[in-house]
C-alpha cells in the first residue's frame, strides 16, 4: 500500500472533521489551488482511502438511547455456519456493527434499542431464532465516554 504524503493525510483529516467541506475550502486551508485538491480527493476515492461520505446522526434524538454489546457464540464453527450467521445478522436492523472475533465468543454485535423491552424482544424474537446460536451475553452502555469515527492521520 502506498504511503500517503502529508497533504493527502491532511485532506483526509479535514474531510473526517467535515465531509461537507468544498474543494475550495480545503484548498484554502492547505494554501493550494482548487484543481490539485480536487485531483487528490478523486485519487483518494479511486484508491479506496475514502470509501464513502456519510451523515452522523444522533441516535438518542432518533429514539435509540440504549446501546448494548452482544457477545455471540455459535454451536457449530464450520465456514458454512459462519457465513449463514453473517448473512442472517445483516438483516437485523438493530445491529449496527458486527465483528467476527477471536476469544471466548465468535461475534461481537453493537445493538441499538429504544429501551430494555425492545432489546429483550430483539434477543428473544430475532437473535435467538437465528440458526446455530449457542450462547449470548449482553453488556449495556451506561455512559458513552468517547465516541469517534475519525482516524487520526496527522
The string of pLDDT tens digits covering residues 76-100 is 999 999 999 999 999 999 999 999 9
Contact between 12 and 50 under an 8 Å Cβ cutoff? The reply is yes
Question: How far is 81 from 132, CA to CA, in rounded Å?
Answer: 7
Cα 105–Cα 75–Cα 67 angle in degrees, nearest 5: 40
Residue 84 within a domain: yes
Same domain, yes or no, for 136 and 77?
A: yes
The per-residue pLDDT of the chain, averaged, comes to: 96
97 lies in a domain? yes
Domain total for the chain?
Answer: 2
Place of cell 451475553: 137
- Assess contact for 52 and 33: CB atoms under 8 A: no
pTM summary value: 0.89
Is beta strand 66-74 parallel, antiparallel or unpaired with respect to 95-100? Answer: unpaired
Residue 5 burial (CB < 10 Å; 0-12/13-18/19+)? exposed
Cell numbers describing residue 120: 429483550
Answer for the pair 85, 126: CB distance below 8 angstroms, yes or no: no
Q: Would residue 54 count as lying in a domain?
A: no
Which runs of consecutive H residues, i.e. helices, occur in the chain?
6-17, 23-30, 34-46, 79-89, 116-122
Q: Which residues of the chain have pLDDT under 50?
A: 1
Q: Which residues does residue 95 pair with via DSSP β-bridges, in sequence order? A: 111
122 and 93, same domain (yes or no): yes
pLDDT at 153: 84
Give the domain range for residue 38. 6-46
Cα–Cα distance, 5 to 3 (Å, whole number)? 7
| Residue 71 in domain | yes
Amino acid at each position: 500500500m502506498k504511503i500517503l504524503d502529508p497533504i493527502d493525510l491532511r485532506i483526509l483529516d479535514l474531510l473526517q472533521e467535515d465531509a461537507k467541506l468544498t474543494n475550495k475550502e480545503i484548498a484554502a486551508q492547505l494554501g493550494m489551488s482548487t484543481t490539485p485538491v480536487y485531483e487528490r480527493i478523486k485519487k483518494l476515492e479511486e484508491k479506496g482511502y475514502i470509501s464513502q461520505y456519510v451523515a452522523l446522526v444522533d441516535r438518542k434524538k432518533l429514539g435509540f438511547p440504549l446501546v448494548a454489546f452482544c457477545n455471540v457464540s455459535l454451536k457449530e464453527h464450520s465456514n458454512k455456519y459462519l457465513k449463514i450467521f453473517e448473512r442472517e445478522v445483516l438483516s437485523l436492523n438493530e445491529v449496527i456493527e458486527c465483528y467476527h472475533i477471536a476469544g471466548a465468543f465468535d461475534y461481537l454485535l453493537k445493538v441499538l434499542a429504544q429501551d430494555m423491552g425492545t432489546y429483550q424482544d430483539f434477543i428473544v424474537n430475532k437473535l435467538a431464532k437465528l440458526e446455530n446460536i449457542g450462547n449470548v451475553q449482553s453488556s449495556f452502555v451506561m455512559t458513552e465516554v468517547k465516541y469517534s469515527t475519525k482516524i487520526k492521520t496527522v
